[in-house]
Amino acid sequence: MNNALLPEFDRYLFGQGISREAYRMLGAHPEKDGSWRFAVWAPNALGVSVVGEFNNWDPLSHPLDAVEGGLWAGRIEDMRAGQLYKYAITSPEGRILYKADPYGVTSEVRPGTASRLWSIEGYDWTDGAWQKAKAGEGVPYCRPMAVYEVHAGSFKRRENGDELTYRELAAELVPYVKEMGFTHVEFMPIAEHPLDASWGYQITGFYAPTSRFGTPQDFMYLVDQLHGAGIGVILDWVPAHFCKDAQGLRRFDGLAVYEHADPRQGENPQWGTCIFNYGRNEVRSFLISNAVYWLKEYHIDGLRVDAVSSMLYLNYGKEDGEWVANEFGGAENLEAVRFLKDLSIAVEETAPGTILCAEEASAYPGITESAKNGGLGFSFKWNMGWMNDMLAYMKLDPVHRKYHHDKVTFSLMYAFSENFILPFSHDEVVHGKHTLLDKMPGNYFEKFASMRALIGYQYAHPGKKLLFMGTELAPFMEWRFYEQLEWHLLQYDMHRHMQHYIKELNHFYTAHPALWKLERGWDGFKWLSADDRNRSTIAFLRMAPGETAIAVVVNFTPMVWENYRIGLPEPGTLTQVFTSDGGFYGGTDIHHNLGQMKTEEVPWNGFDHSLTLTVPPLSAVYYEYKPQKPGTAGAKTGAPKPKGKRSKEA
């Protein structure tokens, strides 16, 4: 064995499952003398060689040396950046397998499956101030966060239908997101994947930004431009599973290496993919290093970890007999739990200020509790319970909504148990689910009004915000990954009004700290009216110390409520500052609440003071609330708390 090829300490970290930069040891790297250094983990292989354009894909031409720990390494001269290569791996049964480099940094364009020699060095970053501020300010728990979820291949396309490059996308996406007032972009998975229809969620090249849109440096440019515009970048990251394509990780050296050998543990029948073996040290090093790689080498600001529920539970998507219980007889995947905790600690220590989001729909506790305190260590969790309840509620004819009022209010029973993001993501506008607009009942104008009211409630409800790209265009047709968004809809008034509404709502939200400064506790939220089910209307306060409180009234019926009375904690005034019913947003433009409105000494709903409003139909209306006694808006009162049964997704 030629152990001198790879540093002993690096091999130790990798083998112990604690390496955070395994990509510096493994993969293909240019050396100062002009040669290329190769290293790959294939513990069951009888032999490994590098094949490619440089040797006519001859598996006998350039063998690698065996190194302790199942590693293979070597140097090859007379190669150049851009050449294609694979590993030719001789399996224990003597077959030769041609595999892409698990640590390869770029690949040939689909349908090709080879890795491509490339260096990720040399990009001249201009986001130093952004990086310094991010590390100093930390995760934006007490700052605004409005996320625009993007599929890079279908935001916009060229006139001939071809996809934009990363640099062309930067020219289109960055100014648009900035103008629309979003604070972050979240890219659906960028890592290399063979099938466009998987949207990037079934990966073969975990370290390679997809070559569909350009080089690694081109993707760096896109991130750099977003940072220059003050926009954070979150990347969907998929450590839950990988696809079975022959060039990928499955049975990498002829046996199960990255996955469990037992299909009850190593396969996800629901998705037709392989599940990572989180108990294997080298796999843990592969995944944790991959997270660090995106954060450090591509300056990504956050990772949204996909399908966390499938990682946490051994029986996820499986029937009895299709899964193996843990050592205590339970369904929790203890190895995955340990991995997620180690991941969050590694991210916190190596890339301070990184946002770590969990797409997780179960009742697993402590998702956003620090791993050092027994939690999983995520910054935020997607609030799938709120999303599912609200969409189920909004699909109802308004006449029936009073019988399901708890779907609107129940989220406040658990809203402060985790740090939440409220998502309306791509998953809700595909596979026959209808678009957000088309889920709404009623006539043409009522559909738009209902959608504006729903998003108005989303932006006032505790939790950060996420909208899938194109939501602002209010399409009737579901998202299609193979063509650009329906930008032509902006020639029609109601669709243009919706875009304007979401733009104005984003800017209003970021300008009013009461809506985002206190997200996890009753000090930032107070019900004014939670139980008015007969009129399907709610009212509440959002508050933060030293900030003007915002009172919110949301009417989920097409009726106008005249003389609608709400109680308030202290005598003071309300002033309407934003309404989804404005004519410039396509609403009825009912403005009966103009100017300052003073409270009366009329007890109402547990409060000593109240006033009356005109509540527009299918609307969300925001008011500035200024008590006569400054700082008392958050005082404890007898205000009602929500009632309702627990949602399955909560």
Tokens of 268: 């996800």
**pLDDT-derived band of residue 287, with 50, 70 and 90 as boundaries?**
very high
Tokens of 416: 């402060």
Distance CA 339, CA 333 (A): 10
Distance CA 24, CA 289 (A): 9
Distance CA 474, CA 256 (A): 46
Say whether 122 sits in a helix, a strand or coil: coil
Distance CA 523, CA 545 (A): 9
Distance CA 6, CA 26 (A): 9
Distances (CA, A) of 317 to 56, 307, 314, 596: 44, 12, 9, 55
Tokens of 573: 């005034």
Q: Which residue has the tokens 């009522």?
A: 446
* Residue 610, pLDDT score: 97
| Amino acid letter, 428 | E
Distance CA 81, CA 106 (A): 11
User: Burial letters for 222-256: b for 16+ Cβ neighbours within 10 Å, e otherwise?
Assistant: bbbbbbeeebbbbbbbbbbbbbbbebbbbbbbbeb
**Domain coordinates in residue numbering, the chain:** 3-116, 522-627
Please state the φ and ψ torsions of residue 624, each to the nearest 5 degrees: -80, 130
pLDDT, tens digit (0-9, with 9 covering 90-100), for 249-264: 999 999 999 999 999 9
Average pLDDT over residues 321-340: 96
Say whether 641 sits in a helix, a strand or coil: coil
Average pLDDT over residues 391-408: 97
Active-site residue flag, 301: no
Instruction: Name the active-site residue from 186, 342, 348, 359.
Output: 359
Average pLDDT over residues 608-620: 96
* Residue 325, pLDDT score: 96
* Residue 631, pLDDT score: 54
Contact 100, 248 (CB under 8 A): yes
| Four-point Cα dihedral 637, 566, 424, 145, nearest 10 | -60
- Domains 3-116 and 522-627 in one fold: yes
* Residue 369, pLDDT score: 97
CA 398 to chain centre: 31
Neighbours of 136 (CB within 10 A): 9
Query: pLDDT at residue 644 above 90?
Result: no
CATH topology of domain 3-116: Immunoglobulin-like (2.60.40)
| Amino acid letter, 61 | S
* Contact residues for 407 (Cβ-Cβ < 8 A; gap 6+): 389, 390, 392, 393, 644, 647
Contact 532, 570 (CB under 8 A): no
Q: Pairing relation of β-strands 380-382 and 420-424?
A: parallel
Q: Pairing relation of β-strands 267-268 and 241-242?
A: unpaired
Query: pLDDT at residue 637 above 50?
Result: no
Neighbours of 603 (CB within 10 A): 11
* Residue 426, pLDDT score: 97
Q: What is the DSSP annotation of 56-76?
A: TT-TTTSBPEEETTTEEEEEE
* Contact residues for 380 (Cβ-Cβ < 8 A; gap 6+): 355, 356, 357, 358, 368, 418, 419, 420, 421, 464
Q: Edge-to-edge strands of the sheet including 619-627?
A: 525-532, 537-542, 549-555, 619-627, 572-579, 596-598
Query: pLDDT at residue 2 above 90?
Result: no
Average pLDDT over residues 424-436: 96
Longest dimension (CA), the chain: 91
* Contact residues for 552 (Cβ-Cβ < 8 A; gap 6+): 456, 457, 460, 539, 540, 541, 542, 620, 621, 622, 623
Distance CA 222, CA 174 (A): 8
pLDDT, tens digit (0-9, with 9 covering 90-100), for 140-192: 999 999 999 999 999 999 999 999 999 999 999 999 999 999 999 999 999 99
DSSP 8-state assignment for residue 335: H
Contact 307, 240 (CB under 8 A): yes
* Residue 633, pLDDT score: 55
Q: Which residue has the tokens 């081109």?
A: 218
* Residue 645, pLDDT score: 36
Helices 444-460 and 493-511 pack at an angle, to 10 degrees, of 10
Distance CA 228, CA 646 (A): 44
Distance CA 291, CA 347 (A): 8
| Amino acid letter, 56 | N
**pLDDT-derived band of residue 600, with 50, 70 and 90 as boundaries?**
very high
Instruction: Characterise 276 by phi-psi region: left (phi > 0), alpha (psi -120 to 50), beta (else).
Output: beta
Q: Average model confidence (pLDDT) for the chain? A: 95
Contact 60, 49 (CB under 8 A): yes
CA 381 to chain centre: 9
CATH topology of domain 522-627: Immunoglobulin-like (2.60.40)
Instruction: Name the active-site residue from 306, 418, 472, 570.
Output: 306
Active-site residue flag, 369: no
